Amino acid sequence: MMTRTRFAPSPTGHVHIGNMRAAIFNWLYARHTGGQFLLRVEDTDRERSTPEAIKTLLEAMEWLGLNVDETPLYQSTRMEAHLAAAEKLLASGHAYKEDKGGTGQGECIIFKMPGTDMAFTDLVKGTLKKSAKDIADFVIVRSNGTPVFHLANVLDDIEQKITHVIRGDDHVENTFRHIAMYKALGAPVPQFAHLPMIINAQGKPYSKRDGDAFVGDFQEKGFFGDALFNYLALLGWSPGDDREVMTRQEMIDAFDLVTVRSSPAQMDLRKLLWMNGEYVRAIKPEDFAALCRSELSAAGVTPGDHADAVFALMQERTKLPSEIVPATAFFFTEEFEYDQKAVEKKLLKEGSFQCLEKIIGIFQTLENFDAETVNTALHNFVEQGGLKFGDVMPPLRIAVSGQQSGPDLAPVLAILGKEKSIARIRKTIERFKG
């Protein structure tokens, strides 16, 4: 039988990474098994499921490359079918009506649990059991005539012929009820896989309070969709070896539900940042250059001489596009700003200016000004003078870039070239020596 999985979010305007991770696992499993991946928009809460909220959801899926195989099913269009099924359950004795709490506000329809102990084999968690006394009968149609989540969810999974329900483990308790409903409706029971929670460093469910938690946050910050996809795929799953940065096809090939871990998965924003850096490195140099040009142009900086060398140097160390402008603007203008703190801490120090004067002298003697030659010259200067790198390099870096951190200094100097490097050092001395 062909595998059919689905993503069944309730749109709220924000797509939490936990939901998206469920979508990714569904997508990967469908692709791995040569099956189909469907979308069902559980939009019965009309106040939250606005057209904008749905648009946000669809855009997030597109950004992550989660293509679906059929037209999405909108749950709100299925109310009649849900109510008709409730009537059927009443007729077959699997449900009954009750004026809950005797409020006189009308009757709800209540599903009648079979009254037997229940068990099912979860593809991630193994055998799960529940005794009859712990699962009470439950409402499937409210007294105002609207169907409840359990009814709609199960009927739509039947309608969409879902074979594998892969969702967060906050739904485990619901699943016992859902299985009873499949049986009462005479429908085949799908397989279930409940995914471990995504937690913060304290072991609590990861939320907005812990940092970026919505797909849109990462998109706005300039993360690559492929990098976020890769990172989320590894939250609770691994290919069984030490691979981490994987192509989509490698993930599809390696993915399986039996290798999904049942223990909670910890969200680590630094690791995600690292992963994004790996994706930045992997793009074509010309694509990275185009990204740099667009970032710089948005900031009003015109990349001039040696722009390609600058971009090549940056590609190795850039994790997010937002780092590009602050890290490269100084290459393209003599009017770069000095980081005041850096100046105070590292430049206005005993011996700094003397040291910079000497460096000018050394640079003047160099015939070649490639990174290696510059590097060797600086090393010799430090070693022969019995100096410390920590006293020499920071003032030099500030002198040519205004900043106290950045790419390796020797290639930066080589790209600027001998004349410009010397001129900048001179200018810095004049400006700050006092």
Q: Is 8 in the site for ligand GLU (CB under 6 A)?
A: yes
- Name the residue with the smallest CB distance to ligand GLU: 167
The token pair at 2 is 């062909």
Nearer to ligand GLU, 130 or 171 (CB): 171
Stretch of residues binding ligand GLU (CB under 6 A), selected from 5-13, 115-123, 188-196, 308-316: 5-13
CA 388 to chain centre: 41
Amino acid making up residue 353: F
Q: Using CA atoms, how far apart are residues 417 and 334, in angstroms rounded to an integer?
A: 13
Nearer to ligand GLU, 153 or 401 (CB): 153
Taking only Cα atoms into account, the Rg of the chain, rounded to an integer number of angstroms, comes to 30
Stretch of residues binding ligand GLU (CB under 6 A), selected from 7-15, 55-63, 333-341, 426-434: 7-15
Q: Is 9 in the site for ligand GLU (CB under 6 A)?
A: yes
φ and ψ at 351, to 5 degrees? 90, -15
Q: Is 86 exposed, middle or buried (0-12, 13-18, 19+ CB in 10 A)?
A: buried
Q: Is 171 in the site for ligand GLU (CB under 6 A)?
A: yes
The token pair at 270 is 């630094």
Stretch of residues binding ligand GLU (CB under 6 A), selected from 6-14, 313-321, 330-338, 368-376: 6-14
Instruction: Give the contact letters, 231-270, x = binds to ligand GLU (CB under 6 A), - = no.
Output: ----------------------------------------
Q: Is 167 in the site for ligand GLU (CB under 6 A)?
A: yes
Nearer to ligand GLU, 171 or 281 (CB): 171
Shortest reach from residue 162's CB to ligand GLU, in Å:
9
As beta bridge partners, residue 260 has 237
20: closest CA among 64, 71, 54?
A: 64
Restricting to residues 144-163, which ones interact with ligand GLU according to CB under 6 A?
A: 153
Shortest reach from residue 254's CB to ligand GLU, in Å:
23
Q: Is 295 in the site for ligand GLU (CB under 6 A)?
A: no
The number of residues that bind ligand GLU (CB under 6 A) is: 7
Contacting residue, 3, 28, 42, 228, with ligand GLU by CB under 6 A: 42
Tell me the three-class secondary structure of 171-233, residue by residue: HHHHHHHHHHHHHHCCCCCCEEEEECCEECCCCCECCHHHCCCEHHHHHHCCCCHHHHHHHHH
Contact 90, 97 (CB under 8 A): yes
Nearer to ligand GLU, 165 or 377 (CB): 165
Residues 197/200/202/203 CA torsion (nearest 10 deg) = 10
Stretch of residues binding ligand GLU (CB under 6 A), selected from 3-11, 270-278, 370-378, 408-416: 3-11
Positions in the binding site for ligand GLU (CB under 6 A): 8-10, 42, 153, 167, 171
